[in-house]
Amino acid sequence: MPELAAKTTMASHFSMVFLFSSLFFYIAIGAEYEVNGDDGWIAPKHDNQIYNKWASSNRFKVDDSIHFKYKKDSVLVVTQEEYDKCQPSHPQFFSNNGDTVFKLDRPGLFYFMSGVTGHCQKGQKMIIKVLEPETPPHSQNQNSTTNTPEHEKNGAFEVAAVTASTIMLLVISAFM
């Protein structure tokens, strides 16, 4: 019987490690956004700002991905000047496979446009702003003279810590 108990304990520990590893992997990967939803990457018929409106309605972070679905078209990443003029002379990225995923690998602005003649002028282009990674709050100096109540200074950190602790306790209790 002691052998069976040892195997069960070992399996529980392995399961817990696997679950935590999966959780951290999930947190580390970015989200994938479908450009223009079900309509995909097409030359707009009426609204030449449709893609920039879509982009501004989302909050992009480093390691997120942009998914372009299209037929007989292409996706280019270009400079601001090429974007403004709709003239891609030296694109930084090019794809025309109909199903393109582009990873946002740094904070800052990304300029996308169609490579099909006339589509950019019709509004098939967009600017995506990728946010700077969030930094943890700086520790407050004990001699600080600010009037901010202590409970407001680290509120976001405390909520995150409580949430993470609660999840961890739930997972651990499930294996006991």
pLDDT value for 148: 43
| Bridge partners for 61 per DSSP | 131
Q: How far is CA 1 from CA 4, 14, 175, in A?
A: 5, 20, 20
Residue 173's Cβ-side half-sphere holds a number of Cα atoms within 13 Å equal to 6
**Residues near 118 by beta carbon (within 8 Å), at least 6 away in sequence:** 43
pLDDT value for 149: 40
Q: Could you tell me the strand order of the sheet in which 32-34 lies?
A: 32-34, 65-69, 99-103
Write down the mean pLDDT value for the chain.
78
- Parallel, antiparallel, or unpaired for β 32-34 and 65-69? parallel
Q: For 16-36, what is the mean pLDDT?
A: 64
Q: How many residues does the chain have?
A: 176
Give the residue, 53 or 133, on which the prediction is more confident: 53
The widest CA-to-CA distance across the chain, in whole angstroms, is 77
Give the residue, 8 or 158, on which the prediction is more confident: 8
pLDDT value for 6: 52
Rounded CA separation 94/74 (Å)? 7
pTM of the model: 0.64
Q: How far is CA 127 from CA 66, 105, 123, 165, in A?
A: 12, 15, 11, 38
CATH of span 32-131: 2.60.40.420
pLDDT value for 167: 57
Every domain of the chain and the residues it spans:
32-131
**78 pLDDT exceeds 50?**
yes
For 44-71, the pLDDT digits (tens) are 999 999 999 999 999 999 999 999 999 9
- pLDDT band, very low/low/confident/very high, at 130 (cuts 50, 70, 90): very high
Give the residue, 155 or 105, on which the prediction is more confident: 105
